[in-house]
Amino acid sequence: MRPVIGITGNRRNGDQGREELWIPSTYGDAVRLGGGLPIFLQAASEDAETLAEIMDGLLLSGGGDLDPRLYGRANAGSEPPDPQRDAFELAVFAAMRRRGKPVLGICRGMQVIQCAMGGELIQDISRALGIEHPSDPAWRHEVCLTEESFLSTLFPTQFLVNSTHHQAVGVPAPGLRACALGAQGRLVEAVEAADGSPVWGVQWHPERLTDQAGMRGLFTMLSEACLKG
C-alpha cells in the first residue's frame, strides 16, 4: 500500500491572468521514488481538516517568504508574501500535527514549521549574517550533523547540499531542535521535533538530488513513517 502524501505549492498568474497552482514535478517524482502517492494541494484553509483526515503525510514545499507579521516582526528584507498560502500551510500543518501524522518541510516548508511552532526567521541571511546562497543549481555547500537525528542513518557527519534561499530558521522554536548546521555553525540547516514525533525540516532541496541515496532516503523515511501511523 502506498501512503497518500499531500504536497503544497505556489500560486501564480498564468496565461490571460488566470491563477495557477505551480508545483515543480521534482517533488512528486521524489515522493513516488520514496514509495508514496503524491497529491497536489490547492491553498484553501477551510479544507485543512478534511485534507488531514484523507492524507497519510504532508510535504511542505519550497517557495516565497512567509509574512513576518506571522512571527511578530516588521519586514526586514522579506519579499511580498502570499497570505492565502501562508494561512493554508499553517492550518494544514496544525491539523496534521494534532493527528500525529508525518510532516516533512523543505526550504520554505521548514520555515513554515518553525513559524507554526512559535519561532522566528532570519529574514535576509545576507544582511543579517553576511552569508550568500546564490541561485545556482550547481552550487553546493557543506552542512554538519550536530547530534543523533533523523539524518543520522542517511548521511555522514559532513556532506554537501544545494540551496537557494535568503531566509533561514533563527533560534529553533519551542519543541524543535536543530540537527544540522551550515556556515561554520551559524545557519540552521535541519530541524526535527524534540519529542520524537514525525516532524522534520531541511533547508536544502533533496527533491533535486534524488540521484543520491541519502536524499532519496528522506522520502522513503517519510513514506515509511506514514505507513507506521
Catalytic residues, by residue number, are: 107, 205, 207
The cell 507579521 sits on which residue? 69
How far from 162 is each of 46, 87, 145, CA to CA, in Å? 34, 28, 16
**147 DSSP 8-state letter:** S
The cell 514509495 sits on which residue? 35
Among candidate residues 214, 227, 223, the one with its CA nearest the CA of residue 159: 214
Distance of alpha carbon 42 from alpha carbon 12, whole angstroms: 12
Task: Label the pairing between strands 57-60 and 103-106.
Answer: parallel
